[in-house]
Structure 1
Amino acid sequence: MDKLPASIAKFRPMCPYLSARKMKTLRTMSTTPSTKFPSVSRLMVKATECPTMRPALLLRSHEQVAGYASLTEGVTPPPMEKGDSYSNVKTPSPGVCPVAHAATTAPDAKAAHVNPASQLAEGKSNPASTSPVARLTADMDGTTSAIPQPHHHANIDPTHFDYAAFYEGELEKKHKDKSYRYFNNINRIANKFPVAHTASPADEVDVWCSNDYLGMGRNPVVLDTMHRTLNRYGAGAGGTRNIAGNGAIHLSLEKELANLHRKEAALVFSSCYVANDATLSTLGAKLPECVIFSDSLNHASMINGIRHSRARKEIFKHNDLADLEAKLQKYPKETPKIVAFESVYSMCGSVSPIHEICDLAKKYGAITFNDEVHAVGMYGPRGAGVAEHLDFEAHGVLGQSGEPVKGGAMDKCDIITGTLGKAFGVVGGYIAGSAHLVDMIRSYAPGFIFTTSLPPHTVAGAQASIAYQKEHVNDRRLQQLNVRTLKARYEAMDIPMVPNPSHIVPVLVGDAALAKEASDMLLRDHRIYVQSINYPTVPVGEERLRITPTPGHTFEQMERLVSSTDHVFNKLGIKRKSEWLALAESTVAKLLLKRESERAEPLWTDRQLGLKDGTAPKQLVDGKSRSVLGVEASQHARMRLAHLLDVEGVMHEGVYPPVHAIPGAPGRRAKLFGPRAVPASA
C-alpha cells in the first residue's frame, strides 16, 4: 500500500479535491487498499475520477509500464460520498495544475523504458523505480520484485544499517506530529515589491511574511552598487578571508558596521547564524570555566553556539530579570560569564530589557551578547537596533559620529550581532565589539576562518544599504505606521495576536494542521502568502501565522489581507481572541494573558514617527503613490565606494552587454577579457 506521497501533500493547495479534505482523511485513503485493486490505494482510484488526472495517469502509464490502463479503462467509478463530486470543480490545465503537469510531461516512451539495471550500473538514479505510478503498475503486472520498494530495501545487506529506512522513519515522524515543512515556490519581483510570483510568472501574490522588512532588496541604490561591483570585481570572492578573499570592500563594510554600532571593530560572516554560533562557541570554549546564561527563547544559532562551546549553561526564563539574577548569584564574580539574549524575539515580537540585563551582567562580572538580527535597520535614528533606539535623542545628537553614548544601552552591550539579510536586504551576518574581542574571534573561530568570503557585490550592496538607512529614517517610520494600522484592524476583528511593542504581528492559530491549512487557503483563494509557523520554531499549541508589514504595502493590500484573514478564520473555524480567553486553561489563553500583563507601549513613539510635527510619511495607495527614495541618503550611499568602483575604464551601465550585442564581425568570438601581466616595479 502506498503512503501519502510527498508530492500529493506538496500539491494539495492547488487541487480542489485534496485541499477540501483534511490530511488525516487523505492519509487514510492513501493507506487503505481498493476493494477491486488491493495493491492500489483508495486515493489513487479517486484520482482516476478526476478530469485532469485521469488522462494524465493514462499517458503516464503508457509511457512507463504497460498495464496501468486497466485501472482507468472500463472502471465504473464507485458512488461518491456527498460533496465528493468533481462536477463543480474547474478543470485546471497542465500548465496550472502541477500534479497534472508532472504526469503529462514525462519523457518519451523510449526514455521511460530505460533498463533499471543499466542505470544502477552506471550509478544513475531510476526515476521510474521510485514513482508511485511505476510501483503501482509493477504490482498489477506481478513484477514488484524487480522494482525497489521504499520499505523493503532488497539491495541492502541485512548485516548493514538500513540508512534509507532510517531517513523514511524520521520523515514519517515529522508527518505524524504535523511539523513536516513544505516550502512554497515564491519569487519576489523587484519592481513590484512586495509582490511575488509563484511557480508560474503569471501567478502573482502579495507577500506578507518577508524578513526583507524595508524592501532594501530592491532599492535602486543597492542594486546599482551591486551591478557596479560585479563589473569591477566579478562574481566571487576567490577564497577565505585568509586566502584571496579579504578585499577593500570587505574592510569598508566592517568599518561601516563598527560606526553603526559605535564600537571599535566589526567582523563579517557568511550569515548571522554562523556569526552567533562561531562567536559563542569560541568564547565559551576559550574562557576558563565559562558559564553562559541564555534566554529561554533564544534563537537556534545561539543555542547551538552554546552547545558547541561545551561550556556550562544556565537557561533563564524569557525576559525574567529576577530569574536571571538568581542564576547569576550562584557563581563567583571572578568566574567568566556571558549573558546571551536577543533584542527582538522574532516569533512573538517581545523586546528585551537591555539596560536592566546589562546592569545585572556588570553587577555579577559578566559580559553581554546582544543579538539585534530582527532590529537592525528597524529601530533607532540610524537603524542600529533597539539598543540605539532606547537612547534615541542622544544618538540623534551625535549623528554619524562613531563616538558612543556613554552609559547608553548600546554602549553597555559588549558584543552586538546582526544580519545583513533582513532589513538590510542582502545576505550575511556580523559581530561588533572591542578591537581585541573581534580580533580574537577572527583568529580562533573556525566558522570564520574556514569558509569562503562573501562575494564583493554582496558586501558592497550591504554597505550601500546600511549607509542609506543611516541617513533615511522614513522607511522604518512608514513600516511602523503600517504595523500600527494592521494591529488595530486585527484587534477590532477579535483576531488573536501575541501582544508586543515591536514590528512583528503573530496571529495565533493554536494547531499545526490548521495553521498550515490557513496559510494554504490564503495563498490559494486570496493570493496572499503568509507562512505558517509550527514546532520546533514555536512550542506545540502555539502555532501561528507570522505577519510582517513593510513600508511598500499599500492601503488596498492591507484591507485585502484583513478581509481575507477574517474569511479564513470563519471558513476553518479558527478561534477568535475572545473564544481563546474563555478557555482559561488552554495554551493560547495562557500565552495571551501573560503577554497582556506584560504589554508595553510601542517602541516607536508618536514623536519619533513624526506624528507630532507632521513629518510622518504617508501610507501608499494603489495607483496613486509610490515608494519615496531618499535623495540625500542615496547620494551618501552611492559615494561610499566611489573611490573603488568609479574608476576609468569601468562600465557603469549596470551589467556587461550580452555577447551577441557586442560589436564585431558575425561569428567571431567576442573578447571580454584581456589579461596582462603586472609589470615589475622599477
Structure 2
Amino acid sequence: MESIARQSAKLCPFVHSVTTSVHSVKSLGQANLPAMAKQCPFMGRAMRTANYATSASPATANSTRSSLREDESAFVDHATAESAFDYDGLFEHELQKKRVDKSYRFFNNINRLAKEFPLAHRQLEDDKVTVWCSNDYLALSKNQEVVDVMKKTLDKYGAGAGGTRNIAGHNKHALKLEAEIAALHKKEGALVFSSCFVANDAVISLLGQKIKDLVIFSDELNHASMITGIKHASTTKHIFKHNDLSHLEELLAMYPRSQPKLIAFESVYSMSGSVADIEKICDLADKYGALTFLDEVHAVGLYGPHGAGVAEHCNFEAHRKSGIASPQERTVMDRVDMITGTLGKSFGTVGGYVAGSLRLIDWLRSYAPGFIFTTCLPPSVMAGAAEAIRYQRSHLDLRQAQQRHTSYVKDGLADLGIPVIPNPSHIVPVLIGNPDLARQASDILMDKHRIYVQAINFPTVARGTERLRITPTPGHTNDLSDILLDAVDDVFNTLQLPRVKDWQNQGGLLGIGQPDFVPEPNLWTSDQLSYKNDDLHPNVKEPIIDQLEVSSGIKY
C-alpha cells in the first residue's frame, strides 16, 4: 500500500499536496482514503455524482446500496440512455459508395458442366453459356483421371480430414501431394495450405515477424494476398514500379548488404498478363543479399516443359532433357528461394503451397499460424491435386493447345482493332477504360451472345483501366473463338467503345496505341510449341517420388 501511495504522490497533484502538507507517504497508506478522496476536486465530484459506495464497513455498504435502490436516477446508464451504433447504416453507406463509383461486385450464377466443357448453365439447367474467363486453365477439374481418383478417395476416406494436421495427424494424401509439389519445382520440401492466399500471407508475415530488421521490396502490382502478408509482417517495406528493375535496384542499394531483405514478386501478373524477369531479379538478390519470394499462381501448369511455371520455362531445354531430375547446370528455378503456387487454377482443385529448402519448410511448418491452426484439406482434394500435377507433367500438349488458342484469339481481336493490353503470356485483357461500360459489355456478352466474361473493375485494377479478362483453355477451339470474336466486335459497336485507333488518338494507354511501345515476344517459342509429349524425358511418365521427411517433422 505504501508503494502505491508513493506512486500516487508522484502522479497526482492533490495527493502530492496532501502528503507534503498533512501526511507523510507512510501515514497516507494507513489513512481513511475515501474521506480524503472527497476533498479532491475531481474524485469528490465523481463520488457525489455517482453516490459512490465505499467498503469502509458492511453496514455502510448495505445502507448505501439501499439508498441506491431508492434513487436509481443517480446513475447514468449508458446501456439504455443512448442509441446503439448504427451498424447497418455504416454498411449501407460503404456499399452505396461502391454503387456510385461502379465498383460494386455482382456475381453471376455459373455452374460449369464437367461433361460439356466449356459450357455452363445459369440458374436453370437449360440456360447454357460458354465460359471464357475461368482460371481452370487446363480444364483439369473435369479431367476423368483426376475425377476418378477423387471419387475413389472420397469413398474410402470420407469427406474431411478431421482437423488440423497437428491435432488429427496427416495422411498419405498430404505426404504424396507435398512430395509431388517439391518434385515439380525441384525443391527439397513443400508445404500445403488451405489456399495460396493463406500461404502468401503466412510465409511473408512470418518472415517479417521473425527476421529482425527485414526490409521487403514488393512489385506494385503484387496480388492482394502478398500485400496482406506484407502488412502483417509489420516491418519496413518499399514498393517498386511494376517490373522496373532499375527502380528496384535503387531501393535495394539504400541498405547495407548485411541487412536482411526480401524481394516479393509474381511470374505472371493475372490482370495484365505481364511477366517478371526472374533471372535478373535473382541477379539483384545475389548482389544485394536478398531472399526471393516468387508467386507462380498463374503460371504453374502453363509454362515450362513440365508445368512448373515461368522459372522452369527460363531453362526450358535443360529441364526438358532432365525430366524430373535436376539439370547439372544451376537453373533459375534453383536460384529462387521460395515458390508459392495454387492447386485451384491449372491443377483444377483447391489449396495453395510453398516450395523451398528443407530448413525453410520445416521452419514454416513449425511456426506459421496459417498452417498450424487451419484444418487440413480433405483427402479427396489432395489426392486429386496430386493426380493433376502428375497428369499435366507428362502432357505437354495441354500447355501448347492453350497457347495456340490464346494466340488465335489475340490475333483475331487485333484484326478487329479491339484493344488488348499487350503481354507475352496467356492472359487476354480487353481494355474498356470505364467501370460502367465494362459491366454493360459483360452483360451484353451474357444476355445476347450467351458468353460469360466477367468485368474487372477497381480495386482489382486501377481506375480508368477497367477491362474484360479472357482466358482460353485447351477446350476453346477455333470455332468457339470465332463466335467470341464476333460477339466482342458487336459489343464494341453497340456501346461505341474505343478501339485501338481511338486510344492512339488519345496518346495511348498500357501499351495500346503508344507509337514507341515495343511488345515482348511470347514466352513460348515456335520450337517449344513443336515438341510432342514423347519428346519429354521418360522419367516424367510414371515416376516414383519419395515421401518428404519434412512433411511429418525431421527426427534428430
Under TM normalisation by the shorter chain, which class is it?
A: 0.7 to 0.9
Q: 1:338 to 1:593 in 2, by over 3 A?
A: farther
**Cα–Cα, structure 1 residues 635 and 316, in superposed 2: closer, same or farther, change >3 Å?**
closer
CA drift of 1:377 comes to 0.3
- 2:406 corresponds to: 483
In the alignment, what sits opposite 1:453?
376
Q: Which has the larger Rg?
A: 2
Match of 2:417 among 472, 494, 517: 494
Secondary structure of 2:125's counterpart equals coil
Give the structure 2 partner of residue 287 of structure 1: 211
Per-residue deviation, residues 37-89 of structure 1 (Å, max 9, x unmatched): xxxxxxxxxxxxxxxxxxxxxxxxxxxxxxxxxxxxxxxxxxxxxxxxxxxxx
Tell me the residue number matched to 1:218. 142
The within-5 A match list for 1:525-540 is: 525-540=448-463
1:607 matches 2:527: yes
Distance 2:327 2:351 in 1: 25
Contact 2:294 2:336 in 1 (8 A): yes
Report the CA distance between 1:554 and its aligned residue. 2.2
1:597 paired residue among 514, 517, 524: 517
Match of 1:515 in 2: 438
Quick check: 1:391–1:408 contact (8 Å CA) kept in 2?
Answer: yes
Q: Distance in 2 between matches of 1:595 and 1:380?
A: 32
Superposition map of 1:349-364 within 5 A: 349-364=273-288
- Which amino acid is the alignment partner of residue 498 of structure 1? I
Q: Which residue of structure 1 lines up, in the alignment, with residue 66 of structure 2?
A: none
**Structure 2 CA distance, aligned partners of 1:633 and 1:213?**
25
Secondary structure of 2:509's aligned partner: helix
Please give the secondary structure, in 2, of the residue aligned with 1:315. strand
Q: Distance in 2 between the 1:635 and 1:384 partners?
A: 15
Asked if structure 1 preserves the Cα contact closer than 8 Å seen for 2:200 and 2:229, the reply is yes
Task: For 2:355 and 2:515, locate their aligned partners in 1 and report how far apart those are by CA, in whole Å.
Answer: 31
The one-letter amino acid of 2:389's match is I
Judge conservation of contact 1:245–1:452 (CA < 8 Å) in 2: no
CA apart distance, 1:465: 0.2
- C-alpha change, 1:281 and 1:554, in structure 2 (3 Å) is same
Aligned to 1:319: 243
CA drift of 1:409 comes to 1.1
| SS of 1:430 mapped into structure 2 | strand
What aligned pairs does 1:250-261 form with structure 2 within 5 A after superposition? 250-261=174-185
Matched, 1:384 2:308: yes
SS in structure 1 at match of 2:341: strand
Match of residue 358 from structure 2? 435
Say which SS state the counterpart of residue 138 (structure 2) adopts.
coil
Partner residue, 1:235: 159
Q: Distance in 1 between matches of 2:132 and 2:399?
A: 16
Aligned partners of 1:209, 1:529: CA distance in 2, in Å? 7
State whether residues 267 and 442 of structure 1, in contact with CA within 8 Å, keep that contact through their aligned partners in structure 2: yes
* Distance in 1 separating the partners of 2:415 and 2:354: 41
How many angstroms apart in 2 are the aligned matches of 1:231 and 1:640? Answer: 25
| Cα displacement (A) at 1:592 | 2.5
Q: Which moved more, 1:156-165 or 1:202-211?
A: 156-165
Shift of 1:413: 0.3
Matches within 5 A, 1:121-520: 158-401=82-325, 403=326, 406-520=329-443
User: Partner letter of residue 606 of structure 1?
Assistant: S
In 2, the alpha carbon distance for the partners of 1:599 and 1:245 equals 51
Q: Are the structure 2 counterparts of residues 333 and 595 from structure 1 closer, same or farther at C-alpha, using a change threshold of 3 Å?
A: farther
Q: For 1:338 and 1:633, how far apart are their aligned partners in 2?
A: 35
515-524 or 591-600, larger mean C-alpha shift: 591-600
Q: Distance in 2 between matches of 1:427 and 1:581?
A: 42
Task: Decide whether aligned partners of structure 1 residues 583 and 213 sit closer, same or farther in structure 2, where only a CA change above 3 A counts.
Answer: same
Corresponding residue for residue 665 of structure 1: none
| Cα distance, 1:634–1:327 mapped onto 2, change above 3 Å | closer
Partner of 1:551: 474
Distance in 2 separating the partners of 1:210 and 1:356 = 31
Letter in 1 for 2:411: A
Q: What are the superposed Cα offsets for residues 104-123 of structure 1, whole Å, 9 maximum, x if unpaired?
A: xxxxxxxxxxxxxxxxxxxx
Letter in 2 for 1:536: P
Contact 2:136/2:344, CA 8 A, preserved across alignment: yes
Q: Which residue of 2 aligns with 1:564?
A: 487
Runs of 5+ unmatched residues, structure 1: 1-155, 618-629, 642-682
The 1:363/1:157 distance shift into structure 2, 3 A limit, reads farther
Partner amino acid, structure 2, of 1:363: K
- Change in CA separation of 1:204 and 1:633 when aligned onto 2, cut-off 3 Å: farther
More helix by share: 2
Change over 3 Å in CA distance of 1:194–1:461 after alignment to 2: same
Deviation, 1:400, is: 1.8
Give the whole-Å Cα distance in 1 for the aligned partners of 2:206 and 2:84: 38
Which amino acid is 2:136 matched to? D
- Which residue type is aligned with residue 341 of structure 1? F
The CA distance in 2 between the partners of 1:595 and 1:306, in whole Å, is 37
TM score, norm. by length of structure 1: 0.66
CA drift of 1:640 comes to: 8.5
**Structure 2 vs 1, CA of residues 635 and 436 (structure 1 numbering), >3 Å: closer, same or farther?**
closer
Cα offsets for 1:348-367 (capped at 9, x unmatched): 00000000001001100001
Structure 1 runs (4+) greater than 2 angstroms displaced: 156-160, 403-407, 588-598, 632-637
Give per-residue Cα distances to partners, 1:365-404, cap 9 Å, x unaligned. Answer: 0010000000000000000000000100000111122x25
Task: Kindly indicate whether the alpha-carbon contact (under 8 Å) linking 2:179 and 2:545 is maintained by their aligned counterparts in 1.
Answer: no
Contact kept? 2:324, 2:540, Cα under 8 Å: no
Residue 245 of structure 1: how far off its partner (Å) = 4.3
SS at match of 1:546: strand
CA contact (8 A) 1:262 1:404 kept: no
Q: What amino acid sits opposite 2:385 in the alignment?
A: A
1 CA distance for matches of 2:515 and 2:165?
A: 44
Give the secondary structure class of the aligned counterpart of 2:491. helix
Q: 1:275–1:417: 8 Å Cα contact kept in structure 2?
A: yes
* Pair 234,247 (structure 1): closer, same or farther in 2 beyond 3 Å: same
Are the counterparts in 2 of residues 471 and 633 from structure 1 also a CA contact under 8 Å? no
Q: Which amino acid aligns with 2:363?
A: M
Please report the TM-score for the alignment, with normalisation by the length of structure 2. 0.81
Tell me which of the two structures has the higher relative contact order, counting C-alpha pairs closer than 8 angstroms and 6 or more residues apart.
2
SS state at 2:209 partner: helix
- The CA distance in 2 between the partners of 1:616 and 1:515, in whole Å, is 40
Q: Is the 8 A contact 2:278 2:332 kept in 1?
A: yes
Amino acid at match of 1:607: D
Letter paired with 2:227:
I
Displacement of 1:231 in angstroms is 1.4
What secondary structure does 1:592 align onto?
A: coil
Q: Distance in 1 between matches of 2:431 and 2:255?
A: 39
Please give the per-residue CA displacement for 1:456-482, whole angstroms capped at 9, x wherever unaligned: 000000000000011110001000000
Maintained 8 Å contact 1:464/1:640:
no
Q: Distance in 2 between matches of 1:593 and 1:285?
A: 45
**How far is 1:406 from its partner?**
3.7
SS in 2 for 1:242: helix
Check 1:331–1:640 CA distance in 2 against 1; reply closer, same or farther (3 A cut). Answer: closer
How far residue 556 of structure 1 moved from its aligned partner, in angstroms, is: 1.6
Amino-acid identity (%): 55
Which secondary structure state, in structure 1, belongs to the residue aligned with residue 167 of structure 2? coil
